[in-house]
């Protein structure tokens, strides 16, 4: 059963890492906004045919109020440390789902500012320097080694991005290593999503403690399309330090999906829903926030290994804990 589960587990892990990278995603500007880009690869483009990103201020909060804006420093090199813990219950037609607790995974990404434009926007480069899989509570050495091997393939991925003072990514690109596998190419997409969470999205209006704003956005990836709603609440504002509570929900309509580890298989997403939340601490002079997020996701997909094979419904209930901090 373990051997039969591994390809599916690896694919579900990719789905989970996608969800992780999107947990704090902020939108790119609407067409017509300053820095909306032209001819550059945008990180996390709105889904084709969708209405695009909608940012709405729900409550301006208490006085005193001020507009929240980043004040980037092009001398502030930093290493971003991302920690991800994931547990799953995977059903493949058997009476009892198979429960899998993945060991904690760590990724270390070097962030190097290059230049601050006159309008305050920052161009920076990034490079995934190293990854690791900790021992954790799992008693399966083979699973840990498999995850280490998969993460190792992503090391060296690099690129650049341009982010404005409200936290919107204006332009970006990522470099795919020569002869990269389908899994590594998929992880490049994950890195693009990760870059979108480097800075929290701020509303245009002045806000005070207690302020709440909502970000609605469709997210289009190579695997499937997701509708996401994120609600931010400003709980602390002292000098250049901003603390926020975040609530998130994601959903996806039934659709055909691509499974990177099973290129010949045909899969269709039947349902997907996710809820979560956490807390973010942002220093307005730094790009990388300190955050802790938790989420629970349920998805069901129909998998057909070949045209002649009978379809199989796979269900996954996943819990995810994601931590982000600067070193």
Q: Where are the domains of the chain?
A: 2-326
Residue 261 has what pLDDT?
67
Q: What is the CA radius of gyration of the chain?
A: 20
Q: Give the model's confidence band at 195: pLDDT under 50 very low, under 70 low, under 90 confident, else very high.
A: low
Q: How far apart are the C-alpha atoms of 165 and 79, rounded to whole Å?
A: 21
Residue 199 has what pLDDT?
64
Task: Give the residue from 36, 315, 287, 10 showing the smallest Cα distance to 170.
Answer: 36
Q: How far apart are the C-alpha atoms of 236 and 301, rounded to whole Å?
A: 41
Q: Give the model's confidence band at 5: pLDDT under 50 very low, under 70 low, under 90 confident, else very high.
A: very low
Question: Could you name the CATH architecture of 2-326?
Answer: Roll (2.30)
Q: Give the model's confidence band at 214: pLDDT under 50 very low, under 70 low, under 90 confident, else very high.
A: very high
pLDDT per residue as tens digits for the range 64-117: 999 999 999 988 899 999 999 989 999 987 778 888 888 899 999 999 999 999
Q: Using N-to-C axis directions, what is the helix angle for 2-22 and 141-152, rounded to 10°? A: 50
Q: What 8-state DSSP symbol labels residue 207?
A: B
Partners of residue 6 on adjacent β-strands: none
- Tokens linked to 140: 């399966």
Residue 146 has what pLDDT?
85
Residue 10 has what pLDDT?
46
- Tokens linked to 144: 């840990």
Residue 165 has what pLDDT?
93
SS3 178: coil
Angle at alpha carbon of residue 225, lines to 220 and 226, rounded to 5° = 105
Weakest-pLDDT range from 11-20, 25-34, 210-219:
25-34
Q: How far apart are the C-alpha atoms of 129 and 114, rounded to whole Å?
A: 18
pLDDT per residue as tens digits for the range 255-267: 998 776 677 788 9
pLDDT over 90 for what percent of the chain?
Answer: 44
Predicted model pTM = 0.80
pLDDT per residue as tens digits for the range 274-322: 999 999 999 999 888 999 999 999 999 999 888 888 888 999 999 999 9
Q: What 8-state DSSP symbol labels residue 216?
A: E
The answer to whether 190 and 209 have CB atoms below 8 angstroms apart is: no
């Amino acid at each position: 059963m373990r051997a039969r589960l591994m390809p599916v587990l690896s694919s579900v892990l990719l789905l989970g890492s996608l969800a992780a990278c999107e947990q704090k995603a902020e939108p790119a500007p609407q067409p017509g906004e300053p820095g909306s880009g032209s001819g550059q690869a945008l990180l996390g483009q709105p889904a084709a045919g969708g209405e695009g990103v909608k940012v709405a201020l729900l409550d301006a909060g208490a006085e005193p109020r001020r507009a929240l804006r980043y004040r980037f420093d092009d001398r502030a090199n930093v290493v971003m440390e991302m920690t991800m813990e994931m547990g799953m219950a995977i059903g493949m037609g058997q009476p009892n789902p198979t429960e899998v607790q993945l060991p904690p995974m760590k990724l270390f990404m070097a962030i190097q500012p290059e230049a601050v434009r006159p309008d305050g926007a920052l161009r920076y480069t990034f490079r995934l320097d190293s990854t690791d899989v900790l021992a954790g509570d799992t008693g399966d050495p083979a699973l840990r080694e498999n995850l280490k091997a998969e993460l190792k393939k992503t090391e060296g991925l690099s690129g650049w991005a341009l982010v404005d003072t409200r936290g919107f990514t204006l332009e970006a690109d990522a470099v795919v290593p020569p002869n990269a596998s389908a899994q590594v190419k998929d992880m490049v997409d994950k890195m693009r999503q990760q870059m979108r969470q480097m800075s929290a999205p701020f509303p245009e209006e002045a806000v005070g403690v207690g302020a709440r704003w909502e970000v609605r956005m469709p997210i289009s990836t190579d695997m499937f399309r997701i509708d996401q709603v994120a609600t931010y609440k400003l709980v602390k504002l002292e000098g250049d330090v901003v603390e926020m509570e975040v609530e998130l929900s994601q959903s996806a309509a039934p659709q055909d999906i691509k499974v990177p580890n099973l290129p010949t298989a045909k899969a269709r997403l039947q349902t997907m829903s996710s809820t979560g939340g956490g807390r973010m601490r942002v220093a307005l002079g730094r790009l990388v926030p300190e955050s802790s997020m938790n989420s629970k996701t349920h998805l069901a997909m129909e998998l057909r290994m070949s045209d002649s094979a009978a379809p199989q419904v796979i269900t996954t209930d996943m819990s995810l804990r994601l931590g982000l901090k600067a070193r």
